[in-house]
Structure 1
Amino acid sequence: MSDRHDFTDDRTDRPAKVGFLTVGDVLSSAAVQRGAPEVIVGGSALDAAVRWVHVSDSAAVARLLDGGELLLTTGAAWPDDDRMLREFTLRLYEIGVAGIVLELSDRRPEVPAAVVEVCAREGLALVVLTREVKFVAVTEAVHHALIAAQTAALRERQHLHELFTGLSLQGAPADVVVAETARAIGAPVMLENLAGELITGEYLGRGVAESLARRAEADRVAVQARGTRWGTLLALPGAEPAAGRLTALEQGATALAFGCLADDGDVEWSLLAQRGVIDDLLGARFTDAADIAARLAAGGFELRGRRCLGVVVGGVESIAALAYRARQSGLAVVAARAGDHDVALLSAPASAELDDATLLRIAGSDRPVFAGPYADDVPGLLSSLRAARDLADSEGSRGGARVRRVGDRPLERLVATLRDDRRLHEHSERMLAPLIRYDEERRGDLLAVLGALLAHPGNRSAAASASHLSRSVFYQRLTLIADLLGVDLDDGETLAALHLALLARRRTPASA
């Protein structure tokens, strides 16, 4: 008949409500364990919060209770009539008691079936003590534990208040506030804007795609101040921290709202969301392509069934302006500053063609655009963005408005495709080693001269001009290069191999 549970004195589960104990916590205490408790109705009922302990045998005890009490009783004055017992137990449930602990005795050697029936039906914890205990010892122990839990909660709330106040005063960016909130709660936390798009999140090592898929289960607090709302802070289910989940979430939301008041919240959040994705892509800090895809989708950037590519725009301008022009052109965009360039991911309808005019309009002013190949998944998008950056690095940002595409440079595209193949880099090191060694030992410029020759293969006068050398000095450098490498610089195959080696070297981090 009983659902017997084993309890130990070292139980450390947090109560369901901050500053309270659960029925299960009380049963695990040494004072109750002396009564050899047996759980008659348990399960989730043992998670009910205990606000206080009340001792009474009266059948009219319900009128003396406010809810949240754990009733300790011998049942000596309970009625014997089943109907009256059902009404008595139902009244206790309706008033909100946390549970009933009945000490068995000669007067009442077993728990009445009517009481079991109501408790089981309503989910009210029911426990019997099979040995006599001092109720005063139980109340003293529980009340001491309750006061200790409430004191700990107050201390933790004060700590959170100081933490988030400090973040607000320091002007901490939204991603830092979100990360601190997640650590305080011990569960993934995400920030959304008013459109429901993901701005940033701290997932505590859990899968991003999985966390985003569970947003419907999250606790939510609005980020708002002075009548203006900017978004929502969400926390996925998890253990209850000492200060309380909602308390920590509200503190985080308040810090975010202060940040929005100090800055242009909408713009700052948009740039933060996009920079995070770009940084993770370029830094290869993601372990699962599905996570990046989920983050892109949560920001309104779709890959499936779209024409997507990475672009690099030379020069310096407002990233927000670039993103605005892309959206005005009907594109989804993720843009950020990376090094000396602006980089962007663009997503267009499958039927659309991102022609040169569109790319130049998005770039704005007199800025060159370098475009990678089209992609339809995360690895392809990463490859497209890398290829566009490589092309920008090799050609530079001077020259005004123009569009250069990796697809128009077959050798560039080949190197971009094989950039992670060690054989390509071995080829580069083997072919260029004499020039690299010469330049390092003599602070020479042979690699730069070779690059100029390959950039102007049919016009050595233009190559000399690009090297900022006189024609005679330039030709001397070419002779030295040919001698060091033991090759004929008029041979087309040799020039192709050298071009491949030089492009591969430019994509090697050590050569940067």
Structure 2
Amino acid sequence: MANEGHERPSSLNGPAVHAFVQHCRTKCPGWALGLHANDCRAVREDSLPDRRSFGADHTHRPASGDPAGEGVVLPTIREVLRFDDVAAALPEVLAGADHLDRPVRWVHVTETASVAHLVSGGELLLSTGVGWPSDDAGLGGFIAQLVSAGIAGLVLELGVRFDAVPRALVTAATALGLPLIVLHREARFVAITEAVHSRIISDQMAALRARDDIHALFTDLSLRGSPADFIVSQVGRVLGAPVVLENLNHHVVAFEALDAGDDVLDAWEQRSRVAHRSADTDWLITPVEARGIRWGHLIALPGAPHPAGRSNVLEQAAVALALSRLADRDADEWTRQSHEYLLRALIGGRFSSESGLVARFEAAGIAVRGRRLVGLALVSRSDGATASAAQSAPAALAAARDIGVDALAGAHPASPGAQLIVALSLGQNQQLTDHAIDTFARRYAHAASLAVEELVVAVGAEAVDIPGLLASVEEATELLARNGGSRRRNLSVYRVDSRPLLRFINSFGSDPRLQAHSEQMLRPLIEYDLDNGRDLLSVLQAYASNPGNRTKAAASSHLSRSVFYQRIALIEDLLGADLDDGETVSALHAALLARRTSAH
């Protein structure tokens, strides 16, 4: 009989593959990070699911839901029908045409009707039907058994047992949705099984190589001490899908949106909580945890399959993030990174749309819509300050909570060592009174181990949107730049409300007409300072800030009165202007403020 005695092709002899998989299981990047062995073991045990390794004498047959099989893009029945040896046998689909995209996990040749207990699901059965039942009821029961066993499809070669397909077979297969294909010519079953199995094995090896690449990538990131936002960015690029790292409160720590844009974070907390509760979500969620401590979750939104398996990629990244947290052991690290990222986006204009940045703020737990926003800038005049701006950011957040206000805090991107920026989000019924600012400043100084009498706080104007918040931060920064060097021995608080000209200039934002005015008014002084290494701009700034009091202006410039007067005379000559004229001084002061604002 044709095809009788056909054997399954020999299995892949895989000692090298087995050794490679064992190596991947035991390899731990934490050793090179100097972590305790228990830390590394905890990451492996807590963060990674059990892996199946290839044995030395058999080929692993990927099963549905098997982590070892994930990432292998199995051929579908439709694809198998296009294989040369199948196509040459003139296949015809008689039932289950809507299910031809089922994956084929394996191919099995059988002539017996009692095959259901020999398979594990996903197989494509090849048969001549020699041992099949001859009555309609038996054929119907045979098809029901195959469907119950999870068979992907059934291929019958005509001419040995059946010259034509029994109608009962077609009826049962159609009713149960089982793809039934007949071959009108004799087929070489061994060639078909060899072709399909070679394809499956090749895909498995490609998946192993992809997993090795992924393991190497995230090991290298761990060894380099890469921050969370960079690791998340790499995950997104590898998967080609948006990826989000969130903390246990469902607030976004870092994310990579790719082409989806920042709006992917709209209503993030609500959507995330729903996804965590749902059993059929299309989000891929992996915990970031080790040694019994869970810090948050790494989430990949829907995307294309990855050769290494999307869950495997996410798990490897979660291990890298967990190792980073174990090495750092700073409970506020993720919050600090998240806030500094948002400040860089705000101050540096690193956002494509206002709505997108609003989504990023609110996803991080900083409410913007329907709130009043205020920017603060803080610095300590003490040379012996015990904490940098970045290190003291958690103290500012704690102080804001003490006065019942949501806040974002981080070092100013242009001066990360000294100047702290705080963005406050106030409810409609909250007021940022002088008492509230004083309380905030004192609690911040205490928490950051700073002398409160050395603290300078600048407060921008209230705003209701992102552009307004940016202007408020810039106002506070400008105020701090002008007053931060004061040697007063008490808590100093400056509000932009008392600086109407500064508020007026900031209301123009980056209007090019204002920049043109600044350049036209100040160009002679700028060029003179650049060519001669002089300080005419700072002298003019001191003069404009202390109108009518040249003695105080000279003191603030740290120049003697005679030298200061010489500088003023030189400025008047270069500009061809009289600095005793109030309108001229006002125009120059506006130009100086516009120049400083555009520099931020």
Asked if these proteins are the same fold (TM beyond 0.5), I'd say yes
Between the aligned partners of 2:180 and 2:485, the Cα distance in structure 1 is: 76
Change (3 A) 1:178 1:441: closer
2:321 corresponds to 1:256? yes
**CA 479–118 in structure 1, closer or farther in 2 if over 3 Å, else same:** farther
| Cα distance between partner residues in 2 of 1:272 and 1:360 | 27
Give the SS at the match of 1:290.
helix
Aligned-pair identity in percent equals 45
Tell me the residue number matched to 1:41: 96
Cα distance in 1, alignment partners of residues 170 and 435 from structure 2: 78
Structure 2: runs of 5 or more not aligned: 1-63, 276-281, 381-387, 446-451
- Find the aligned partners of 2:471 and 2:185 in 1 and give their Cα distance: 72
Report the secondary structure of 2:259's partner residue.
Answer: coil
Match of 2:347 in 1: 282
TM-score (norm 1): 0.89
- Spell out the pairing of 1:19-168 with structure 2 (5 A cutoff): 19=72, 21-23=74-76, 24-39=78-93, 40-43=95-98, 45-75=99-129, 77-79=131-133, 81-103=135-157, 108=162, 115=169, 119=173, 123-129=177-183, 131-168=185-222
SS at match of 2:351: coil
Mark the CA change 1:143 to 1:348 in structure 2 (over 3 Å): closer, same or farther: same
User: Which amino acid is the alignment partner of residue 337 of structure 1?
Assistant: A
Name the SS for the 1:444 alignment partner. coil
Q: Does 1:223 align with 2:288?
A: yes
C-alpha distance 119-195 of structure 1, shift in aligned 2 (>3 A): farther
Aligned partners of 1:488 and 1:494 also within 8 Å: yes
Cα displacement string for residues 448-484 of structure 1 (whole angstroms, at most 9, x for unaligned residues) = 1111111100211111111222223322322222222
Which residue does 1:4 correspond to in 2? none
Residue matched to 2:420: 342
Instruction: Find the aligned partners of 2:174 and 2:485 in 1 and give their Cα distance.
Output: 75
CA shift, 1:162, in A, is: 2.6
Contact 1:208 1:294 in 2 (8 A): yes
TM-score (norm 2): 0.76
Q: CA deviation at 1:86?
A: 3.4
Measured in 1, the distance between the counterparts of 2:423 and 2:174 equals 58
The CA deviation at 1:160 is 2.1
Is 1:358 aligned with 2:436? yes
Structure 1 residue 436: Cα displacement:
1.8
Counterpart contact for 1:446–1:477, Cα < 8 Å: yes
Contact 1:219 1:235 in 2 (8 A): yes
Residue 103 of structure 1, CA deviation: 4.1
**Offset of residue 123 of structure 1:** 4.9
Match of 2:491 in 1: 401
Q: Does structure 1 residue 377 correspond to structure 2 residue 447?
A: no
- Determine if the alignment matches structure 1 residue 494 to structure 2 residue 584: yes
How far residue 52 of structure 1 moved from its aligned partner, in angstroms, is: 1.2
How far off its partner does 1:132 sit?
4.3
Which structure 2 residues correspond to residues 270-349 of structure 1 after superposition, within 5 A? 270-315=335-380, 316-317=388-389, 318-338=392-412, 339=415, 340-349=418-427
Q: 1:22 aligns to what SS in structure 2?
A: coil
User: Higher relative contact order by CA 8 Å / sep ≥ 6: 1 or 2?
Assistant: 2
Q: Quick one: structure 1 residues 413 and 21, their matched pair in 2 at CA, closer, same or farther if it must change by over 3 Å?
A: same
CA 133–505 in structure 1, closer or farther in 2 if over 3 Å, else same: same
SS of equivalent residue, structure 2 residue 321: helix
Aligned to 2:332, what secondary structure does the other structure show?
Answer: helix
Of 460, 478, 483, which aligns to 2:573? 483
CA contact (8 A) 1:224 1:231 kept: yes
Structure 1 pair 448/153, CA: closer, same or farther in 2 (3 Å)? same
Larger displacement relative to structure 2 (234-243 or 469-478): 469-478
Question: Of residues 245, 248, 252 in structure 1, which corresponds to 2:310?
Answer: 245
Q: State whether structure 2 residue 519 is matched by structure 1 residue 429.
A: yes
Q: Offset at 1:206?
A: 2.0
Task: Call closer, same or farther: CA 1:430–1:19 in 2, change over 3 Å.
Answer: closer
Q: Tell me: CA distance 1:168–1:475, structure 2 relative to 1, closer, same or farther (3 Å).
A: closer
How many residues are matched?
495
Q: What is the root-mean-square deviation of aligned Cα atoms in Å?
A: 2.6
Q: Describe the superposition over 1:307-329 as per-residue Cα deviations: whole angstroms up to 9, x where unpaired.
A: 21222112345111111211222
Alpha carbons 1:22, 1:46 under 8 Å: kept = no
1:3 maps to none
Q: 1:451 to 1:70 in 2, by over 3 A?
A: same
How far apart, CA to CA, are the structure 1 residues paired with 2:479 and 2:554?
A: 22
Q: Which amino acid aligns with 1:151?
A: M
